Amino acid sequence: MTKARKAVLGILDGANQPLSALEVGGSAGALCDTATIYRALHYLEENGLAESFVLHCATHGTERYYVSHNAPHRHWFHCERCHRFVDLGACKVEPILREMEKTSGVAIRSHTLYATGICADCAALAASADCAAVAANADNTR
């Protein structure tokens, strides 16, 4: 494996969330140019060392990569407010996919699942802001 591929794999391995190619490039510094980053990411994915998905987000939408060679396939949650990723853990849909294969006669080779919404921290902030707004309105009506 080339030095650039090892470096990109190390960056993904050390990340606690899926990274865009731009984020990988920022971590790699002067070691790799943009084209080398993309070639390394595609090599790692083709060889089962990384996985990717396309994040559909108006603010941060882009292809995201994460390491897959040292952990089972997993799924992610993306907060629409703070844009943090939460690792939802190992895949739990494999049994459903196997049943789909049986009933439809197809052979599923891979799948991608990520969920979007509001994380617990952002939900708590929104709830406290709502409570503050209600209290302020009550004070104004007195």
What's the pLDDT tens digit per position in 68-111?
766 677 888 989 898 888 888 888 888 999 999 999 999 998 88
Contact 44, 63 (CB under 8 A): no
Residue whose token pair is 């952002």: 122
Q: How confident is the model at residue 60 (pLDDT cuts 50, 70, 90)?
A: low
Of 137, 136, 118, 135, which Cα lies nearest the Cα of 126? 118
Q: Domain of 43: which CATH number?
A: 1.10.10.10
Q: Could you tell me if 82 and 66 lie in one domain? A: no
Residues 53 and 40 placed together within one structural domain of the fold: yes
> Do 105 and 129 fall into the same domain?
yes
Check residue 70 and give its pLDDT.
67
Chain length of the chain: 142
Same domain, 53 and 26: yes
Domain that holds residue 126: 76-142
Question: 67 and 1 in one domain?
Answer: yes
Do the bridges between strand 114-117 and strand 85-90 make them parallel or antiparallel, or are there none, so unpaired?
A: unpaired
pLDDT grade, residue 55 (50/70/90)? confident
- Between the two ends of the chain, the Cα-to-Cα distance in Å is 72
pTM for this structure?
A: 0.67
Give the pLDDT confidence score for residue 16 in this predicted structure. Answer: 85
